[in-house]
Chain A
């Protein structure tokens, strides 16, 4: 691995060129999932369960199929039955088999000549249900007499005697808790709950699928992972992957929620059955009810601290529900809970629990915001009770290089101390506060990942460069990739265009998730550039009549490597490209690999709030995000990620929640009743980027997209506790809940 990051002076990386998708997006030219059209296209619509939990006794589609204008009707029986749990869960979430497991679960679908006919056809489908008892609360679902959502799904990790709804147990930690707690001057044990929230992406899920009579299919869709769409569609249709080409559209927000597949296999089945292209666009109601919100949680945290502010032991018990299908998110929460601390004794225990809710999907740092909210709240309360500065306490206990992390590995270079010190020095931390105002802070952490990645780079004869990558651009990756290509090649950013290739045009790429793209695709781009640089040096060597070893690449040109190589003027990329057809043919570089070495990321958030004691309304007065980006490739986008994560976290903390009625049905499936923060609700979110290089990347890059949603929950809660003198232990801290706490005297 190339090193020397600290010494490197970048020419392109770290600059702020105009975003390549900006003009298309502000002029309405950008093609999102719902913008795709095809000749003869049908409208697909999905029939969904009105019950939280019900046996599907029968589905009669005959009346719908007989309607004029209806070209196809499908049910779960039209998908290929899967033989492993992971794929069967996807299959049965896409179209139910046997049981409807939550309000909004898909049970059938139609394709018709227009939306009105499709809607009427849904009404003509007769589904006979036998309603079953339901459970939507995670604690209730763990009780012995709880309705069983799915039987037989508990892994071998679950102790005997627990509810059949408990599907997984995980544990992490080290040291002796009893000894640790005995050393503490104060031990606090608190319980918390957090509501399920939705990613709130503005663009609904949408796809257009065109299957041909000779066994091919083209799919256009908004997704965070079109290779995954291909794999799922192939499995559920029985088609071969090579015959399905998936093209990712521009994406109107994903945040993890578009890592899952919901509608594409349904549209594919309808298209194959009808012989016509089929387009499905979810309504907002469907997005809320039938895509993937976060887990809902119930948590207990116990932490001991000395009067001097040293944490002696930490323990967390996490109960997460990812809805009606097993998920492993609690493992991430249990791993991340205490990651910011250097502890001698720490233990986390987590359970995943089935409830009659939609299957959870990822949402930025899945599982971490909840657990860290609980831990950071207790740390803050300990500081309050021991009259200690919360930043000093976090510095005193901060994980650093050499710390045995709470989840197992020993940390290498990490930026937590730097972010804490930056927060302490920042004017925000010492700014005066007024009446009913409070300041809170929280640290946050996310692992970041690499993964399977392919990049292809073409040097065009006019001296420009085309880069093809295979990860939908959800956060500015095209700009970042172009910057890294420009840096490595030594040419201008404006000479490069990066595009997202379809699944038939480039090797496999893992889903855009885990804050992996700028790290992994960037690394592949650097290697692809080095590949084509080697080829260009070879061409120059041939033209100069010297050995390849006697040529090196410098500032965008081949140059003789030292005086002994001969006296030749630099041969720029454009010159080599112009003669490429005479010197051996087209020039291209590529790289395919499994990227590893993604460095973990820490952030610290400072937040000031004011609470109106008459209404319980909270106003966020000031908010500052400090985060270690390793190396900010395009600082505008990095700041945007930090601001966006903070905003989503503010919504999670103050207002957002899935509200279920006693009937198990979702009560607020729309943006009027599910209140996300809008610009007028918020102050400017200030950002401070720290750059502690990731030793696993030649430029020092770390993923930045997920960490910023982790700290806001506790930062807001801690600020609230100072503003009103009381602490809430449930999210969201909505006005009615605040008023209730205030009224309790």
Chain B
């Protein structure tokens, strides 16, 4: 299981929890499990999210590996100029 920290505005779809646990070994699995466990997150995840794994921000890399002890933070889809 991986502990996933949620940014504030998506917590409402996880019963207000700041952190949830899912079974995932990659970014893609993480998104799939979140949608399964918390269907209310689907609109945000479909629009796009980023994930910080051990401090590195991934925007699209589905197969980015997640270890059980990794720090995982879900973030909005991030963009620059």
Contact = CB atoms under 8 A, between A and B. Distances in A.
B59 to A, nearest CB: 7
A169 B9 CA distance: 7
A172 B76 CA distance: 10
Contact of B9 (A157, A363, A366, A412): A157
B79 A449 contact: yes
B56 A696 contact: yes
Given A170-B9, A409-B55, A448 B75 contact: no
B52 A362 contact: no
Nearest to A331: B76
Nearest to B40: A156
B73 A408 contact: yes
B61 A596 contact: yes
A411 interface: yes
Nearest to B64: A596
Given A155-B43, A173-B8, A447 B76 contact: no
Given A169-B9, A170-B9, A408-B7, A514 B56 contact: no
A332 interface: yes
Interface in A585-639: 594, 596-598
Given A172-B8, A408-B75, A409-B71, A259 B81 contact: yes
Interface in A253-311: 255-257, 259
A206 to B, nearest CB: 20
B35 interface: no
Contact of A366 (B47, B58, B81): B81
A335 B59 contact: no
B60 A446 contact: no
B18 interface: yes
A332 B61 contact: no
A363 B81 CA distance: 5
Contacts of B55: 409-412
B61 A594 contact: yes
B52 A256 contact: no
B34 to A, nearest CB: 15
Contacts of B81: 255-257, 259, 361-366, 513-514, 706
B38 interface: no
Nearest to B56: A597
A156 B47 CA distance: 12
B71 A451 contact: no
Nearest to A327: B79
Contacts of B7: 170-172, 407-408
Interface in B1-44: 5, 7-12, 18, 40, 43-44
A598 B58 CA distance: 9
Interface in B61-81: 61, 64, 71, 73-81
Contact of A513 (B57, B60, B80): B80
Interface in A695-717: 696, 706
Interface in A388-427: 407-412
A423 B25 CA distance: 43
Contacts of A328: 76-77, 79
A365 B80 CA distance: 6
Interface in A447-473: 447-452
Nearest to A412: B55
A245 interface: no
Given A174-B18, A447-B57, A706 B52 contact: no
Contacts of B44: 155-157
A426 B44 CA distance: 46
B52 A448 contact: no
Interface residues of A, number: 48
A172 B73 CA distance: 11
A220 B5 CA distance: 44
A345 B59 CA distance: 27
Chain B residues touching A, majority SS: mixed
B21 to A, nearest CB: 16
B57 A332 contact: no
A316 to B, nearest CB: 12
A516 interface: yes
B75 A516 contact: no
B8 A452 contact: no
Contacts of A347: 8
B73 A409 contact: yes
A503 interface: no
Contacts of B60: 451-452, 594
B15 to A, nearest CB: 15
Contacts of B59: 449-451
A706 B58 CA distance: 19
B38 to A, nearest CB: 13
A332 B8 contact: no
B4 to A, nearest CB: 10
A447 B78 contact: yes
A515 interface: yes
A364 to B, nearest CB: 5
Contacts of B58: 596
Contacts of A411: 55
Contacts of A256: 80-81
Contacts of A409: 52, 55, 57, 71, 73, 75
A501 to B, nearest CB: 22
Nearest to A407: B75
B75 A514 contact: no
A170 B75 CA distance: 10
Nearest to B72: A409
Contacts of A156: 40, 43-44
> Which of B52, B58, B74, B80: most chain A Cβ within 10 A?
B80
A171 B80 contact: no
Contacts of B11: 171
Contacts of A349: 8
Nearest to A361: B81
Given A155-B43, A594-B61, A514 B80 contact: yes
Nearest to A257: B81
Nearest to B74: A408
A382 B79 CA distance: 32
A365 B56 CA distance: 18
Given A155-B43, A409-B57, A597-B56, A170 B80 contact: no
Interface in A523-581: none
Contacts of A257: 81
Nearest to B12: A157
Contact of A596 (B10, B43, B56, B78): B56
A447 B80 contact: yes
B79 to A, nearest CB: 7
Contacts of B8: 170-173, 347, 349
A693 B68 CA distance: 27
Contacts of B9: 157, 169-171
B53 to A, nearest CB: 9
17 contacts: A172-B8, A255-B81, A256-B81, A257-B81, A361-B81, A363-B81, A365-B81, A409-B52, A409-B71, A410-B71, A450-B59, A451-B60, A513-B81, A514-B78, A596-B58, A596-B61, A696-B56
Given A361-B81, A362-B79, A597-B56, 5 more contacts: A171-B9, A332-B79, A362-B81, A451-B60, A596-B64
Interface of A: 155-157, 169-174, 255-257, 259, 328, 331-332, 335, 347, 349, 361-366, 407-412, 446-452, 513-516, 594, 596-598, 696, 706
3 closest cross-chain pairs (CB), A and B: A256-B81, A171-B8, A514-B80
